[in-house]
Chain A
Amino acid sequence: MSRFRREENDWTAETGRRLREVLAQEAAAVTPSADALDRIRARTAATARRSFGRPLAMAGAALATAAVVAVAVLVAHHGGGRQPLATTPSTAPTPSAIPSSTAPMSPTPTPTVGPTYQLTLYYVGRRADPYQLLFPEVVNRPVPPEKAVIADAIRALLTTPPNDPDYTSYWPAGTELAGVALHNSTVVVDLTMPQAPTSAPPSAVPSTPAPPAGLGAISVQQLLYTIHGAAPQVTAMELRINGHDITSLWASPITEPIALAQPWEVFSHVWITSPTQGQVITTTGTGPATVTISGKAIVFEGVVNFDVQQDGQTVASGHAQTVGAPAQGDWSASVTLPPGTYTIRAYELSAKDGSITYLDDKTITVVAGSPTASGS
Protein backbone atom coordinates (compact mmCIF):
# COMPACT_ATOMS: atom_id res chain seq x y z
CA MET A 1 0.00 0.00 0.00
CA SER A 2 2.65 2.45 0.92
CA ARG A 3 4.11 3.97 -2.16
CA PHE A 4 7.62 5.00 -1.30
CA ARG A 5 8.71 8.32 -2.57
CA ARG A 6 12.20 9.52 -3.02
CA GLU A 7 13.15 11.59 -0.03
CA GLU A 8 16.02 14.00 -0.10
CA ASN A 9 16.95 13.27 3.36
CA ASP A 10 17.34 10.23 5.54
CA TRP A 11 15.56 11.47 8.60
CA THR A 12 12.52 12.69 6.73
CA ALA A 13 12.33 9.36 4.91
CA GLU A 14 12.55 7.43 8.14
CA THR A 15 10.14 9.68 10.01
CA GLY A 16 7.70 9.60 7.13
CA ARG A 17 7.87 5.84 6.96
CA ARG A 18 7.15 5.51 10.64
CA LEU A 19 4.31 7.97 10.44
CA ARG A 20 2.87 6.07 7.50
CA GLU A 21 3.00 2.91 9.55
CA VAL A 22 1.29 4.47 12.55
CA LEU A 23 -1.44 6.00 10.42
CA ALA A 24 -2.04 2.77 8.56
CA GLN A 25 -2.41 0.85 11.82
CA GLU A 26 -4.69 3.43 13.27
CA ALA A 27 -6.80 3.52 10.13
CA ALA A 28 -7.02 -0.25 10.04
CA ALA A 29 -8.76 -0.13 13.41
CA VAL A 30 -11.60 1.82 11.80
CA THR A 31 -14.29 -0.43 10.36
CA PRO A 32 -16.81 1.42 8.21
CA SER A 33 -20.33 0.27 8.88
CA ALA A 34 -21.80 -2.26 6.51
CA ASP A 35 -25.04 -0.46 5.75
CA ALA A 36 -23.53 2.89 4.85
CA LEU A 37 -24.38 2.59 1.17
CA ASP A 38 -28.01 1.96 2.04
CA ARG A 39 -28.07 5.00 4.24
CA ILE A 40 -26.48 7.20 1.61
CA ARG A 41 -28.86 5.94 -1.04
CA ALA A 42 -31.86 6.42 1.18
CA ARG A 43 -30.81 10.05 1.47
CA THR A 44 -30.07 10.53 -2.20
CA ALA A 45 -33.30 8.76 -3.12
CA ALA A 46 -35.19 11.45 -1.25
CA THR A 47 -33.67 13.87 -3.74
CA ALA A 48 -34.46 11.59 -6.65
CA ARG A 49 -38.08 11.31 -5.55
CA ARG A 50 -38.53 15.02 -5.85
CA SER A 51 -37.73 14.79 -9.53
CA PHE A 52 -38.66 11.22 -10.13
CA GLY A 53 -39.17 11.51 -13.85
CA ARG A 54 -35.66 10.52 -14.65
CA PRO A 55 -35.37 6.91 -13.54
CA LEU A 56 -38.77 6.22 -14.98
CA ALA A 57 -37.83 7.77 -18.28
CA MET A 58 -34.67 5.73 -18.31
CA ALA A 59 -36.59 2.57 -17.71
CA GLY A 60 -39.00 3.46 -20.45
CA ALA A 61 -36.23 4.04 -22.92
CA ALA A 62 -34.69 0.73 -22.07
CA LEU A 63 -37.98 -1.00 -22.60
CA ALA A 64 -38.52 0.67 -25.91
CA THR A 65 -35.25 -0.80 -27.05
CA ALA A 66 -36.24 -4.19 -25.76
CA ALA A 67 -39.49 -3.98 -27.65
CA VAL A 68 -37.85 -3.21 -30.95
CA VAL A 69 -35.63 -6.21 -30.86
CA ALA A 70 -38.30 -8.34 -29.21
CA VAL A 71 -35.83 -9.37 -26.60
CA ALA A 72 -37.17 -11.33 -23.74
CA VAL A 73 -37.39 -9.84 -20.35
CA LEU A 74 -36.22 -12.31 -17.88
CA VAL A 75 -37.15 -12.78 -14.30
CA ALA A 76 -36.08 -15.06 -11.58
CA HIS A 77 -38.58 -17.70 -10.73
CA HIS A 78 -39.23 -18.37 -7.14
CA GLY A 79 -40.43 -21.88 -7.58
CA GLY A 80 -37.35 -23.46 -9.00
CA GLY A 81 -38.19 -26.07 -11.60
CA ARG A 82 -40.31 -23.95 -13.88
CA GLN A 83 -39.26 -22.91 -17.33
CA PRO A 84 -38.92 -19.21 -17.84
CA LEU A 85 -40.54 -18.05 -21.03
CA ALA A 86 -37.52 -16.16 -22.05
CA THR A 87 -34.70 -17.82 -23.85
CA THR A 88 -31.97 -15.64 -22.47
CA PRO A 89 -29.99 -17.76 -20.08
CA SER A 90 -30.08 -16.72 -16.52
CA THR A 91 -28.73 -18.18 -13.38
CA ALA A 92 -29.94 -15.72 -10.85
CA PRO A 93 -28.60 -16.96 -7.57
CA THR A 94 -30.98 -15.06 -5.33
CA PRO A 95 -34.69 -15.50 -5.70
CA SER A 96 -35.36 -11.94 -4.63
CA ALA A 97 -33.04 -10.30 -7.09
CA ILE A 98 -34.22 -9.68 -10.58
CA PRO A 99 -31.43 -10.52 -12.97
CA SER A 100 -30.82 -7.89 -15.53
CA SER A 101 -29.42 -10.47 -17.92
CA THR A 102 -27.47 -8.51 -20.47
CA ALA A 103 -28.27 -5.07 -19.17
CA PRO A 104 -25.15 -2.99 -19.78
CA MET A 105 -25.48 -1.21 -16.50
CA SER A 106 -22.47 0.15 -14.77
CA PRO A 107 -20.87 -0.38 -12.49
CA THR A 108 -22.10 -3.41 -10.55
CA PRO A 109 -25.42 -5.14 -9.97
CA THR A 110 -27.72 -2.81 -8.14
CA PRO A 111 -28.34 -3.65 -4.51
CA THR A 112 -31.89 -3.78 -3.24
CA VAL A 113 -32.01 -0.37 -1.60
CA GLY A 114 -31.48 2.73 -3.60
CA PRO A 115 -33.18 5.33 -5.65
CA THR A 116 -36.88 4.86 -6.03
CA TYR A 117 -39.44 5.50 -8.70
CA GLN A 118 -43.16 5.86 -8.54
CA LEU A 119 -45.25 3.00 -9.75
CA THR A 120 -49.01 3.02 -10.09
CA LEU A 121 -50.69 -0.15 -8.90
CA TYR A 122 -54.31 -0.76 -9.74
CA TYR A 123 -56.77 -2.30 -7.34
CA VAL A 124 -60.35 -3.38 -7.57
CA GLY A 125 -62.95 -1.39 -5.65
CA ARG A 126 -64.78 -3.32 -2.94
CA ARG A 127 -67.91 -1.27 -2.78
CA ALA A 128 -71.12 -2.47 -4.30
CA ASP A 129 -71.18 0.64 -6.42
CA PRO A 130 -68.88 0.93 -8.20
CA TYR A 131 -68.35 -2.76 -8.09
CA GLN A 132 -65.14 -4.13 -9.44
CA LEU A 133 -63.74 -1.16 -11.19
CA LEU A 134 -60.14 -0.08 -10.91
CA PHE A 135 -58.57 2.50 -8.62
CA PRO A 136 -54.92 3.53 -8.65
CA GLU A 137 -52.45 3.73 -5.82
CA VAL A 138 -48.96 5.07 -6.23
CA VAL A 139 -46.09 3.34 -4.47
CA ASN A 140 -42.41 4.14 -4.31
CA ARG A 141 -40.27 1.25 -5.43
CA PRO A 142 -36.51 0.86 -5.67
CA VAL A 143 -35.57 1.44 -9.29
CA PRO A 144 -35.32 -2.03 -10.80
CA PRO A 145 -32.65 -3.12 -13.26
CA GLU A 146 -33.30 -1.72 -16.69
CA LYS A 147 -34.94 -4.75 -18.20
CA ALA A 148 -36.90 -5.80 -15.17
CA VAL A 149 -39.38 -2.94 -15.09
CA ILE A 150 -42.35 -5.08 -16.06
CA ALA A 151 -41.39 -7.88 -13.71
CA ASP A 152 -41.00 -5.38 -10.92
CA ALA A 153 -44.43 -3.92 -11.57
CA ILE A 154 -46.06 -7.36 -11.55
CA ARG A 155 -44.30 -8.40 -8.39
CA ALA A 156 -45.24 -5.16 -6.74
CA LEU A 157 -48.87 -5.74 -7.59
CA LEU A 158 -48.83 -9.32 -6.35
CA THR A 159 -47.17 -8.49 -3.06
CA THR A 160 -48.43 -5.04 -2.11
CA PRO A 161 -51.77 -4.86 -0.34
CA PRO A 162 -53.76 -1.73 -1.07
CA ASN A 163 -53.46 1.17 1.30
CA ASP A 164 -57.09 2.11 1.00
CA PRO A 165 -59.39 -0.37 2.77
CA ASP A 166 -62.03 0.16 0.09
CA TYR A 167 -59.76 -1.45 -2.50
CA THR A 168 -58.69 -5.01 -2.89
CA SER A 169 -56.91 -7.41 -5.15
CA TYR A 170 -58.22 -10.87 -5.90
CA TRP A 171 -54.93 -12.39 -6.88
CA PRO A 172 -54.55 -14.97 -4.13
CA ALA A 173 -51.66 -14.90 -1.71
CA GLY A 174 -48.91 -17.08 -3.05
CA THR A 175 -49.39 -16.05 -6.65
CA GLU A 176 -45.93 -15.58 -8.06
CA LEU A 177 -44.33 -14.41 -11.21
CA ALA A 178 -42.57 -17.25 -12.99
CA GLY A 179 -41.60 -15.44 -16.15
CA VAL A 180 -42.28 -12.48 -18.33
CA ALA A 181 -41.37 -11.78 -21.91
CA LEU A 182 -42.06 -8.85 -24.15
CA HIS A 183 -42.85 -9.10 -27.86
CA ASN A 184 -43.47 -5.72 -29.36
CA SER A 185 -46.49 -4.40 -27.50
CA THR A 186 -47.58 -7.76 -26.11
CA VAL A 187 -46.33 -8.97 -22.80
CA VAL A 188 -46.36 -12.65 -21.97
CA VAL A 189 -46.84 -13.19 -18.27
CA ASP A 190 -46.37 -16.52 -16.62
CA LEU A 191 -47.83 -16.81 -13.14
CA THR A 192 -47.93 -19.61 -10.66
CA MET A 193 -50.89 -19.78 -8.40
CA PRO A 194 -51.69 -22.03 -5.46
CA GLN A 195 -55.18 -22.86 -6.77
CA ALA A 196 -56.32 -23.73 -10.24
CA PRO A 197 -57.56 -20.62 -12.03
CA THR A 198 -60.55 -22.33 -13.55
CA SER A 199 -62.24 -23.13 -10.28
CA ALA A 200 -64.60 -20.93 -8.35
CA PRO A 201 -63.60 -17.40 -7.46
CA PRO A 202 -61.37 -16.96 -4.42
CA SER A 203 -63.31 -17.00 -1.18
CA ALA A 204 -62.36 -13.39 -0.53
CA VAL A 205 -64.82 -12.36 -3.19
CA PRO A 206 -68.22 -11.30 -1.96
CA SER A 207 -70.94 -13.27 -3.67
CA THR A 208 -73.23 -10.34 -4.34
CA PRO A 209 -73.72 -8.37 -6.38
CA ALA A 210 -72.60 -10.34 -9.34
CA PRO A 211 -69.53 -8.88 -10.99
CA PRO A 212 -70.59 -7.05 -14.11
CA ALA A 213 -67.54 -7.83 -16.15
CA GLY A 214 -66.48 -10.83 -14.22
CA LEU A 215 -63.91 -11.07 -11.53
CA GLY A 216 -61.27 -12.67 -13.69
CA ALA A 217 -61.80 -10.13 -16.40
CA ILE A 218 -61.24 -7.16 -14.12
CA SER A 219 -58.28 -8.86 -12.46
CA VAL A 220 -56.45 -9.36 -15.73
CA GLN A 221 -57.14 -5.72 -16.59
CA GLN A 222 -55.78 -4.77 -13.17
CA LEU A 223 -52.61 -6.64 -14.03
CA LEU A 224 -52.37 -5.29 -17.55
CA TYR A 225 -53.02 -1.68 -16.54
CA THR A 226 -50.33 -1.93 -13.87
CA ILE A 227 -47.89 -3.21 -16.49
CA HIS A 228 -49.03 -0.56 -18.95
CA GLY A 229 -48.37 2.11 -16.31
CA ALA A 230 -44.80 0.93 -15.90
CA ALA A 231 -44.22 0.27 -19.59
CA PRO A 232 -46.65 2.36 -21.64
CA GLN A 233 -45.93 0.60 -24.93
CA VAL A 234 -47.48 -2.59 -23.57
CA THR A 235 -51.10 -2.77 -24.68
CA ALA A 236 -51.81 -6.48 -24.72
CA MET A 237 -51.05 -9.48 -22.56
CA GLU A 238 -50.90 -13.21 -22.89
CA LEU A 239 -51.39 -14.77 -19.52
CA ARG A 240 -50.25 -18.21 -18.54
CA ILE A 241 -51.09 -19.67 -15.18
CA ASN A 242 -49.28 -22.68 -13.77
CA GLY A 243 -47.77 -23.25 -17.16
CA HIS A 244 -50.96 -23.21 -19.19
CA ASP A 245 -52.63 -20.72 -21.45
CA ILE A 246 -55.89 -19.77 -19.86
CA THR A 247 -59.34 -19.59 -21.37
CA SER A 248 -61.04 -18.51 -18.22
CA LEU A 249 -60.14 -17.08 -14.86
CA TRP A 250 -62.45 -17.52 -11.89
CA ALA A 251 -65.31 -18.28 -14.17
CA SER A 252 -64.74 -15.26 -16.40
CA PRO A 253 -64.01 -16.28 -19.97
CA ILE A 254 -60.69 -14.88 -21.13
CA THR A 255 -59.76 -14.40 -24.74
CA GLU A 256 -56.07 -14.17 -25.43
CA PRO A 257 -54.29 -12.03 -26.16
CA ILE A 258 -55.95 -9.80 -23.62
CA ALA A 259 -56.22 -6.27 -24.94
CA LEU A 260 -56.00 -3.22 -22.72
CA ALA A 261 -59.61 -2.23 -22.12
CA GLN A 262 -60.81 1.32 -22.59
CA PRO A 263 -60.40 3.37 -19.40
CA TRP A 264 -64.13 4.04 -19.20
CA GLU A 265 -64.77 0.31 -19.24
CA VAL A 266 -62.57 -0.56 -16.29
CA PHE A 267 -61.70 2.59 -14.32
CA SER A 268 -63.96 3.76 -11.60
CA HIS A 269 -65.43 7.07 -12.67
CA VAL A 270 -63.99 9.18 -9.87
CA TRP A 271 -60.59 8.85 -8.29
CA ILE A 272 -59.03 10.84 -5.50
CA THR A 273 -55.30 10.63 -6.03
CA SER A 274 -54.33 13.21 -3.41
CA PRO A 275 -54.43 13.26 -0.47
CA THR A 276 -53.86 9.57 0.05
CA GLN A 277 -55.61 7.33 2.52
CA GLY A 278 -54.33 7.96 6.03
CA GLN A 279 -52.28 10.96 5.05
CA VAL A 280 -51.35 13.35 7.82
CA ILE A 281 -51.31 16.97 6.81
CA THR A 282 -49.57 19.51 8.97
CA THR A 283 -50.80 23.05 9.07
CA THR A 284 -48.31 25.76 8.40
CA GLY A 285 -48.35 28.09 11.35
CA THR A 286 -51.32 28.20 13.65
CA GLY A 287 -54.18 28.53 11.16
CA PRO A 288 -56.10 25.78 9.39
CA ALA A 289 -54.51 23.75 6.62
CA THR A 290 -55.32 24.32 2.99
CA VAL A 291 -55.79 20.84 1.58
CA THR A 292 -55.72 20.40 -2.15
CA ILE A 293 -57.85 17.51 -3.27
CA SER A 294 -57.03 16.21 -6.70
CA GLY A 295 -57.84 13.23 -8.82
CA LYS A 296 -59.08 12.00 -12.14
CA ALA A 297 -62.58 11.42 -13.36
CA ILE A 298 -64.58 10.08 -16.27
CA VAL A 299 -67.90 11.70 -15.53
CA PHE A 300 -70.94 12.98 -17.31
CA GLU A 301 -70.39 16.59 -18.36
CA GLY A 302 -67.19 16.57 -16.44
CA VAL A 303 -68.66 17.38 -13.06
CA VAL A 304 -67.05 15.83 -9.99
CA ASN A 305 -68.75 16.37 -6.65
CA PHE A 306 -66.91 16.21 -3.39
CA ASP A 307 -67.48 16.78 0.27
CA VAL A 308 -65.57 16.61 3.50
CA GLN A 309 -67.06 14.84 6.47
CA GLN A 310 -66.16 14.92 10.11
CA ASP A 311 -67.99 12.72 12.60
CA GLY A 312 -70.72 12.16 10.07
CA GLN A 313 -71.27 15.86 9.50
CA THR A 314 -70.52 17.50 6.19
CA VAL A 315 -68.09 20.33 6.89
CA ALA A 316 -67.36 21.31 3.31
CA SER A 317 -68.64 20.42 -0.12
CA GLY A 318 -68.44 21.55 -3.69
CA HIS A 319 -67.83 20.40 -7.20
CA ALA A 320 -65.05 20.56 -9.72
CA GLN A 321 -65.12 20.68 -13.48
CA THR A 322 -63.11 18.51 -15.77
CA VAL A 323 -63.52 17.24 -19.31
CA GLY A 324 -66.61 15.16 -19.95
CA ALA A 325 -66.81 11.40 -20.37
CA PRO A 326 -65.56 9.31 -22.05
CA ALA A 327 -62.32 11.20 -21.57
CA GLN A 328 -60.60 10.89 -18.23
CA GLY A 329 -59.80 14.36 -16.94
CA ASP A 330 -57.93 15.81 -14.01
CA TRP A 331 -59.84 17.60 -11.34
CA SER A 332 -58.86 19.41 -8.17
CA ALA A 333 -60.32 21.52 -5.43
CA SER A 334 -59.09 23.14 -2.25
CA VAL A 335 -60.59 23.05 1.19
CA THR A 336 -59.48 24.74 4.37
CA LEU A 337 -59.50 22.42 7.37
CA PRO A 338 -58.58 23.01 11.01
CA PRO A 339 -56.84 20.17 12.86
CA GLY A 340 -58.94 17.04 13.07
CA THR A 341 -59.73 13.79 11.25
CA TYR A 342 -61.78 13.98 8.09
CA THR A 343 -63.14 11.84 5.34
CA ILE A 344 -62.86 13.40 1.92
CA ARG A 345 -65.38 11.96 -0.50
CA ALA A 346 -65.61 12.44 -4.24
CA TYR A 347 -68.30 10.97 -6.45
CA GLU A 348 -70.53 11.31 -9.42
CA LEU A 349 -74.19 12.13 -8.91
CA SER A 350 -76.43 9.72 -10.69
CA ALA A 351 -78.10 11.27 -13.72
CA LYS A 352 -81.07 9.08 -12.94
CA ASP A 353 -81.89 9.94 -9.36
CA GLY A 354 -79.18 12.24 -8.07
CA SER A 355 -77.77 9.60 -5.72
CA ILE A 356 -74.07 9.25 -4.97
CA THR A 357 -72.33 6.82 -7.28
CA TYR A 358 -68.74 5.91 -8.04
CA LEU A 359 -67.62 7.03 -4.63
CA ASP A 360 -63.98 7.25 -3.68
CA ASP A 361 -62.99 8.45 -0.24
CA LYS A 362 -59.88 9.11 1.79
CA THR A 363 -59.54 9.54 5.51
CA ILE A 364 -56.97 12.11 6.45
CA THR A 365 -55.76 13.84 9.58
CA VAL A 366 -54.85 17.48 9.86
CA VAL A 367 -52.49 18.24 12.71
CA ALA A 368 -51.34 21.60 13.95
CA GLY A 369 -47.87 22.51 12.92
CA SER A 370 -45.88 24.67 15.24
CA PRO A 371 -44.87 28.10 13.96
CA THR A 372 -41.38 27.35 15.23
CA ALA A 373 -39.14 24.76 13.69
CA SER A 374 -38.84 22.76 16.90
CA GLY A 375 -42.46 21.67 17.16
CA SER A 376 -43.93 18.60 15.64
Chain B
Amino acid sequence: MTTSAEPIDADQAVVALYRAHYASLVRLAALLVGNAWEGEEIVQDAFVAMHTHWRRLRDPDKAVGYLRQSVVNSCRSALRHSGVVARHRLEPQPDHPSAEHEALAAAYRAEVLAALRALPRRQRETLILRYYADLSEEEIARTLGISRGAVKSHTFRGLAALRGRLAAYPSSTNWETPQ
Protein backbone atom coordinates (compact mmCIF):
# COMPACT_ATOMS: atom_id res chain seq x y z
CA MET B 1 0.00 0.00 0.00
CA THR B 2 1.48 3.31 -0.97
CA THR B 3 1.15 6.02 1.59
CA SER B 4 1.31 9.62 0.62
CA ALA B 5 2.20 12.23 3.19
CA GLU B 6 -1.29 12.67 4.54
CA PRO B 7 -3.69 10.28 2.94
CA ILE B 8 -7.29 10.95 3.73
CA ASP B 9 -9.97 8.36 3.45
CA ALA B 10 -13.11 8.53 1.38
CA ASP B 11 -15.27 9.77 4.25
CA GLN B 12 -12.89 12.55 5.11
CA ALA B 13 -12.63 13.45 1.45
CA VAL B 14 -16.39 13.79 1.20
CA VAL B 15 -16.49 16.16 4.15
CA ALA B 16 -13.55 18.23 2.98
CA LEU B 17 -14.74 18.54 -0.58
CA TYR B 18 -18.27 19.15 0.55
CA ARG B 19 -17.21 22.12 2.59
CA ALA B 20 -15.06 23.54 -0.11
CA HIS B 21 -17.12 22.88 -3.20
CA TYR B 22 -20.65 21.73 -2.56
CA ALA B 23 -22.37 25.09 -2.77
CA SER B 24 -20.57 26.20 -5.89
CA LEU B 25 -21.15 22.85 -7.57
CA VAL B 26 -24.87 23.06 -6.80
CA ARG B 27 -24.95 26.52 -8.33
CA LEU B 28 -23.03 25.30 -11.32
CA ALA B 29 -25.45 22.42 -11.75
CA ALA B 30 -28.42 24.73 -11.28
CA LEU B 31 -27.14 26.97 -14.04
CA LEU B 32 -26.44 24.04 -16.32
CA VAL B 33 -29.65 22.16 -15.75
CA GLY B 34 -31.88 25.15 -15.13
CA ASN B 35 -33.25 24.45 -11.66
CA ALA B 36 -31.86 24.22 -8.20
CA TRP B 37 -33.44 21.06 -6.88
CA GLU B 38 -32.28 18.94 -9.76
CA GLY B 39 -28.89 20.54 -9.40
CA GLU B 40 -28.67 19.41 -5.80
CA GLU B 41 -29.56 15.86 -6.61
CA ILE B 42 -26.99 15.76 -9.35
CA VAL B 43 -24.27 17.08 -7.07
CA GLN B 44 -25.16 14.69 -4.27
CA ASP B 45 -24.99 11.80 -6.72
CA ALA B 46 -21.58 13.05 -7.77
CA PHE B 47 -20.34 13.05 -4.17
CA VAL B 48 -21.59 9.55 -3.60
CA ALA B 49 -19.89 8.39 -6.79
CA MET B 50 -16.69 10.12 -5.76
CA HIS B 51 -16.80 8.35 -2.42
CA THR B 52 -17.15 5.03 -4.22
CA HIS B 53 -14.22 5.76 -6.50
CA TRP B 54 -12.03 7.37 -3.91
CA ARG B 55 -9.43 4.63 -4.07
CA ARG B 56 -8.77 5.57 -7.66
CA LEU B 57 -8.92 9.30 -7.13
CA ARG B 58 -7.12 9.78 -3.83
CA ASP B 59 -6.01 13.26 -4.69
CA PRO B 60 -8.48 16.00 -3.69
CA ASP B 61 -7.59 18.05 -6.76
CA LYS B 62 -8.36 15.16 -9.02
CA ALA B 63 -11.52 14.60 -7.07
CA VAL B 64 -12.73 18.14 -7.73
CA GLY B 65 -12.21 17.55 -11.43
CA TYR B 66 -14.07 14.30 -11.12
CA LEU B 67 -16.97 15.97 -9.30
CA ARG B 68 -17.19 18.72 -11.87
CA GLN B 69 -17.10 16.28 -14.71
CA SER B 70 -19.82 14.08 -13.28
CA VAL B 71 -21.93 17.15 -12.60
CA VAL B 72 -21.60 18.35 -16.18
CA ASN B 73 -22.34 14.90 -17.55
CA SER B 74 -25.35 14.37 -15.31
CA CYS B 75 -26.72 17.78 -16.18
CA ARG B 76 -26.43 16.87 -19.81
CA SER B 77 -28.40 13.69 -19.42
CA ALA B 78 -30.91 15.41 -17.17
CA LEU B 79 -31.51 17.97 -19.88
CA ARG B 80 -31.74 15.30 -22.52
CA HIS B 81 -34.39 13.49 -20.52
CA SER B 82 -36.45 16.47 -19.62
CA GLY B 83 -36.16 17.86 -23.14
CA VAL B 84 -37.34 21.27 -24.12
CA VAL B 85 -39.44 21.90 -21.08
CA ALA B 86 -36.43 22.21 -18.86
CA ARG B 87 -34.77 24.56 -21.28
CA HIS B 88 -36.28 27.64 -19.84
CA ARG B 89 -36.08 26.86 -16.17
CA LEU B 90 -34.80 28.95 -13.29
CA GLU B 91 -37.63 31.26 -12.56
CA PRO B 92 -36.49 34.83 -12.65
CA GLN B 93 -36.42 35.68 -8.97
CA PRO B 94 -39.39 37.89 -8.12
CA ASP B 95 -37.17 40.50 -6.56
CA HIS B 96 -38.53 43.58 -4.87
CA PRO B 97 -41.13 44.72 -7.35
CA SER B 98 -41.07 48.15 -5.79
CA ALA B 99 -37.63 48.85 -7.07
CA GLU B 100 -38.19 49.39 -10.72
CA HIS B 101 -34.65 48.95 -11.81
CA GLU B 102 -34.44 45.65 -9.99
CA ALA B 103 -37.49 44.37 -11.78
CA LEU B 104 -35.86 45.50 -14.96
CA ALA B 105 -32.65 43.74 -13.99
CA ALA B 106 -34.55 40.54 -13.27
CA ALA B 107 -36.24 40.65 -16.63
CA TYR B 108 -32.92 41.31 -18.28
CA ARG B 109 -31.34 38.36 -16.48
CA ALA B 110 -34.17 36.10 -17.48
CA GLU B 111 -33.71 37.10 -21.11
CA VAL B 112 -29.99 36.50 -20.99
CA LEU B 113 -30.49 33.12 -19.39
CA ALA B 114 -33.10 32.16 -21.94
CA ALA B 115 -30.68 33.11 -24.68
CA LEU B 116 -27.95 31.13 -22.95
CA ARG B 117 -30.16 28.07 -22.82
CA ALA B 118 -30.96 28.41 -26.46
CA LEU B 119 -27.27 28.09 -27.35
CA PRO B 120 -25.81 24.83 -28.60
CA ARG B 121 -24.91 22.64 -25.66
CA ARG B 122 -21.12 22.99 -25.85
CA GLN B 123 -21.29 26.74 -26.13
CA ARG B 124 -23.57 26.95 -23.16
CA GLU B 125 -21.40 24.65 -21.07
CA THR B 126 -18.25 26.46 -22.03
CA LEU B 127 -19.68 29.84 -21.11
CA ILE B 128 -20.99 28.65 -17.75
CA LEU B 129 -17.74 26.93 -16.84
CA ARG B 130 -15.78 29.95 -17.82
CA TYR B 131 -17.91 32.81 -16.59
CA TYR B 132 -19.51 31.21 -13.61
CA ALA B 133 -17.08 28.52 -12.46
CA ASP B 134 -14.14 30.66 -13.53
CA LEU B 135 -12.23 27.75 -15.02
CA SER B 136 -9.26 28.17 -17.30
CA GLU B 137 -9.43 27.06 -20.91
CA GLU B 138 -7.34 24.08 -19.94
CA GLU B 139 -9.71 23.05 -17.16
CA ILE B 140 -12.75 23.53 -19.36
CA ALA B 141 -11.15 21.41 -22.05
CA ARG B 142 -10.54 18.62 -19.55
CA THR B 143 -13.97 18.84 -18.01
CA LEU B 144 -15.75 18.69 -21.34
CA GLY B 145 -13.28 16.35 -22.99
CA ILE B 146 -12.60 18.68 -25.88
CA SER B 147 -9.52 20.54 -27.12
CA ARG B 148 -8.49 23.97 -25.96
CA GLY B 149 -9.03 25.23 -29.46
CA ALA B 150 -12.59 24.01 -29.31
CA VAL B 151 -13.04 25.77 -25.97
CA LYS B 152 -11.83 29.01 -27.52
CA SER B 153 -14.15 28.76 -30.45
CA HIS B 154 -17.19 27.76 -28.36
CA THR B 155 -16.53 30.67 -26.04
CA PHE B 156 -16.21 33.08 -28.88
CA ARG B 157 -19.31 31.89 -30.68
CA GLY B 158 -21.33 31.75 -27.53
CA LEU B 159 -20.37 35.27 -26.56
CA ALA B 160 -21.08 36.48 -30.06
CA ALA B 161 -24.53 34.98 -29.90
CA LEU B 162 -25.26 36.62 -26.58
CA ARG B 163 -23.61 39.89 -27.39
CA GLY B 164 -26.70 41.69 -28.55
CA ARG B 165 -28.76 40.47 -25.64
CA LEU B 166 -26.13 41.33 -23.07
CA ALA B 167 -25.55 44.76 -24.52
CA ALA B 168 -29.26 45.58 -24.41
CA TYR B 169 -29.22 46.59 -20.79
CA PRO B 170 -27.65 49.85 -19.77
CA SER B 171 -24.53 49.26 -17.75
CA SER B 172 -24.88 49.41 -14.05
CA THR B 173 -21.91 50.76 -12.17
CA ASN B 174 -20.52 47.24 -11.92
CA TRP B 175 -20.56 46.87 -15.62
CA GLU B 176 -18.76 50.04 -16.53
CA THR B 177 -16.00 49.25 -18.95
CA PRO B 178 -12.70 49.77 -17.18
CA GLN B 179 -10.16 51.99 -18.83
Q: Which stretch of B71-79, B80-88, B142-150, B162-170 is in the interface?
A: B162-170
Distance of A335 from chain B, by nearest CB (Å): 35
Chain B 31-51 against A: per-residue CB contact (8 Å), 1 yes, 0 no? Answer: 100001001100110011001
The answer to whether the Cβ of B63 comes within 8 Å of any Cβ in the partner chain is no
Number of interface residues of B (CB under 8 A): 52
Docked-complex contact A40 and B44, CB < 8 angstroms: yes
Q: A30-B30, A40-B48 are in contact. Are A23 and B132 (CB under 8 A)?
A: yes
Chain A interface size range: 35 or more
Interface residues of A: mostly helix, strand, loop or mixed? helix
Q: A26-B31, A26-B109, A43-B44 are in contact. Are A15 and B15 (CB under 8 A)?
A: no
Q: A21-B174, A32-B23, A106-B16 are in contact. Are A26 and B47 (CB under 8 A)?
A: no
The answer to whether the Cβ of A174 comes within 8 Å of any Cβ in the partner chain is no
Docked-complex contact B18 and A115, CB < 8 angstroms: no
Give Cα A143–Cα B10 distance, bound, in whole angstroms: 13
Docked-complex contact A21 and B132, CB < 8 angstroms: no
Distance of B51 from chain A, by nearest CB (Å): 4
Give Cα A54–Cα B108 distance, bound, in whole angstroms: 53
Q: A15-B167, A48-B11, A106-B16 are in contact. Are A26 and B134 (CB under 8 A)?
A: no
Docked-complex contact A47 and B16, CB < 8 angstroms: no
Give Cα A78–Cα B47 distance, bound, in whole angstroms: 35
Distance of A48 from chain B, by nearest CB (Å): 7
Distance of B176 from chain A, by nearest CB (Å): 9
> Residue on B with the closest CB to A110?
B15
Docked-complex contact A30 and B39, CB < 8 angstroms: yes
> Residue on B with the closest CB to A46?
B48
Docked-complex contact A106 and B8, CB < 8 angstroms: yes
Q: A40-B18, A44-B51, A48-B11 are in contact. Are A33 and B166 (CB under 8 A)?
A: no
Distance of B76 from chain A, by nearest CB (Å): 18
Q: A21-B175, A27-B132 are in contact. Are A37 and B10 (CB under 8 A)?
A: no
Chain A 6-28 against B: per-residue CB contact (8 Å), 1 yes, 0 no? Answer: 00001111111111111111111
Docked-complex contact B47 and A40, CB < 8 angstroms: yes
The answer to whether the Cβ of A108 comes within 8 Å of any Cβ in the partner chain is yes
The number of residue pairs between A and B whose CB atoms lie closer than 8 Å in the complex comes to 127
Chain B 148-166 against A: per-residue CB contact (8 Å), 1 yes, 0 no? Answer: 0000000010010011001
The answer to whether the Cβ of A302 comes within 8 Å of any Cβ in the partner chain is no
Distance of A307 from chain B, by nearest CB (Å): 42
The answer to whether the Cβ of A39 comes within 8 Å of any Cβ in the partner chain is yes
Residues of B within 8 A of A16 (CB): 130-131, 159
Residues of B within 8 A of A44 (CB): 10-11, 14, 47-48, 51-52
The answer to whether the Cβ of B90 comes within 8 Å of any Cβ in the partner chain is yes
Give Cα A40–Cα B51 distance, bound, in whole angstroms: 10
> Residue on A with the closest CB to B169?
A18
Docked-complex contact A12 and B52, CB < 8 angstroms: no
Residues of A within 8 A of B18 (CB): 36-37, 40
> Residue on A with the closest CB to B8?
A106
Docked-complex contact B159 and A15, CB < 8 angstroms: yes
The answer to whether the Cβ of A107 comes within 8 Å of any Cβ in the partner chain is yes
Chain B 44-68 against A: per-residue CB contact (8 Å), 1 yes, 0 no? Answer: 1001100110000000000000000
Distance of A116 from chain B, by nearest CB (Å): 10
The 8 Å CB contact of A30, one of B27, B47, B131, B166, is B27
Q: 6 nearest interchain CB pairs?
A: A27-B27, A23-B132, A44-B51, A107-B16, A18-B166, A32-B26
B residues with a Cβ closer than 8 A to A are 6, 8-12, 14-16, 18-19, 22-24, 26-28, 30-31, 36, 39-40, 43-44, 47-48, 51-52, 90, 93, 105, 108-109, 112-113, 116, 127-128, 130-132, 134, 156, 159, 162-163, 166-167, 169, 174-175, 177
